[in-house]
């Protein structure tokens, strides 16, 4: 049985939530929280995500053309253009982006390429110390 990275992240989130529900086992909050560079990133974990170059090309052009229709796409454009001080696209936000791409009609081939890129670790942003 194979587990995708998306499924693994969900399993980890559920395990962390379960652990935090047990008194005395709370962990410090690792999400951006109130320090998020954008409100859509508050629940995202800081320090990990996808490298920005993964979204260049068709996804970036699509996001730029449709930014007025989606705050998620506008934020992606701002991250890629350097207007938001992040050099990666956080994992949870990237999952939300994939739903926006599908909803707004990104070319299925480009969506499939992004899905394939998300399978390997080569496109993960690794902060110093990992």
Please report, for the chain, the start and end positions of each structural domain, with discontinuous segments joined by +. Answer: 31-125
Q: What is the pLDDT of residue 34?
A: 85
3 vs 109, higher pLDDT: 109
The partner residues of 50 in beta bridges, in order of sequence, read: 89, 124
Confidence of residue 8 (pLDDT cuts 50, 70, 90): confident
pTM exceeds cut of 0.75: no
What distance in Å separates the CA atoms of residue 127 and residue 107, rounded to the nearest whole number?
31
**39-68 mean pLDDT:** 92
Q: Which residue carries 């560079």 as its tokens?
A: 37
29 vs 6, higher pLDDT: 6
**113-117 mean pLDDT:** 88
């Amino acid at each position: 049985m194979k587990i995708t990275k998306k499924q693994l992240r969900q399993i980890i989130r559920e395990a962390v939530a379960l652990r935090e529900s047990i008194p005395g086992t709370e962990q410090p909050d690792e999400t951006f929280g109130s320090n998020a560079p954008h409100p859509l990133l508050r629940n995202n974990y800081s320090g990990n995500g996808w490298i920005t170059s993964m979204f260049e090309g068709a996804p970036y052009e699509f996001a730029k053309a449709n930014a007025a229709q989606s705050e998620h796409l506008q934020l992606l454009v701002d991250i890629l253009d350097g207007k938001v001080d992040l050099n990666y696209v956080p994992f949870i936000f990237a999952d939300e982006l994939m739903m926006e791409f599908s909803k707004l009609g990104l070319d299925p081939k480009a969506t499939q390429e992004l899905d394939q890129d998300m399978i390997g670790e080569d496109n993960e942003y690794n902060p110093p110390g990992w």
